[in-house]
Amino acid sequence: MAFENILTETDNGIAQITINRPTKLNALNKDTIGELHEAFKVLDADATVKVIIVTGSGEKAFVAGADIAEFAHFGVEGGERLAAEGQAMLFDFVQNLGTPVIAAVNGFALGGGLELAMACHFRVAGDNAKMGLPEVSLGVIPGYGGTQRLPQLIGKGRAMEMIMTAGMVTAEDAKAWGLVNHVVPQSELLDFTKGIAAKIMKNSPVAISKAIKAVNAGYEAGVNGFISEIRAFGEAFGTEDFKEGTTAFIEKRKANFPGR
């Protein structure tokens, strides 16, 4: 895949997407969001890809936000469209992807950058990472899901404080609050994240994708997550992965999941 603003590479079932606008601290402009959508779509459709890791190029930033220069002149309708299209194309799209997506947060994750990390299924941070939703300092609010996903991850009070102060939290605070799962030295961030990906890859891709759906269902308004879980649990019994997983256990061997 050839893109202008992102790099993709796949090695042994692990795909890495690197947002690559280092001179703009990897800020998300419209083209980058379009390219990310395309890359996630293609990688998700590729059965050989078992895990996707998303990170930023350079040592300074994961993503320093939506591209402020691009929306600074927008009016009310343009602002609403920006949020709606961005949420549909990237943030909701990533959250609902069947392939696991891990954010490797390698520096500033601000505004749309933190919102992208939060849309991923979970997050690992380098020890230099700094996270925040500084939108109110620009006279706007988080528009890529931040007002919803941040309270889900760290609780309403902390989210309110982060949003109202427009402040940044350190990687260690983010870990203590449950915003990231692990903090590792920056130089080890990708290897460590790939290590988690390798553990995920040993398991049934079909079951993982159903589990992602069931977990997400609990956060959807009007959807009963328990009912969704029951349905997905039943469906799993009809898969080849289930046959292989249970047979391998009984035969005391490692499962070799066909992914169907």
Q: Return the active site residues.
A: 115, 135
Give the binding range for ligand COA (CB under 6 A) out of 3-11, 79-87, 119-127, 133-141: 133-141
Among residues 24 and 182, whose Cβ is nearest to ligand COA? 24
Least CB distance to ligand COA at residue 114 (A):
9
SS3 for the chain is: CCCCCEEEEEECCEEEEEECCHHHCCCECHHHHHHHHHHHHHHHHCCCCCEEEEEECCCCEEECCECHHHHCCCCHHHHHHHHHHHHHHHHHHHHCCCCCEEEEECCEEECHHHHHHHHCCEEEEECCCEEECCHHHHCCCCCCCHHHHHHHHHCHHHHHHHHHHCCEEEHHHHHHCCCCCEEECHHHHHHHHHHHHHHHHCCCHHHHHHHHHHHHHCCCCCCCHHHHHHHHHHHHCCCHHHHHHHHHHHCCCCCCCCCC
Among residues 56 and 112, whose Cβ is nearest to ligand COA? 112
Q: Is 198 exposed, middle or buried (0-12, 13-18, 19+ CB in 10 A)?
A: middle
Q: Which member of 134, 146, 205, 245 binds ligand COA (CB under 6 A)?
A: 134
Q: Per CB under 6 A, which of residues 14..33 are in contact with ligand COA?
A: 24-25, 27
Q: Does 135 bind ligand COA (CB under 6 A)?
A: yes
Q: Does 146 bind ligand COA (CB under 6 A)?
A: no
**Closest C-alpha to 31, from 1, 78, 66:** 66
Binding string, 193-212, against ligand COA, x = CB under 6 A?
--------------------
Q: Does 68 bind ligand COA (CB under 6 A)?
A: yes
Q: Does 241 bind ligand COA (CB under 6 A)?
A: no
Q: Does 69 bind ligand COA (CB under 6 A)?
A: yes
Among residues 51 and 110, whose Cβ is nearest to ligand COA? 110
Binding string, 80-119, against ligand COA, x = CB under 6 A?
----------------------------x-xxx-------
Among residues 69 and 160, whose Cβ is nearest to ligand COA? 69
Q: Does 245 bind ligand COA (CB under 6 A)?
A: no
Q: Which residues bind ligand COA (CB under 6 A)?
A: 24-25, 27, 64-69, 108, 110-112, 134-135, 138
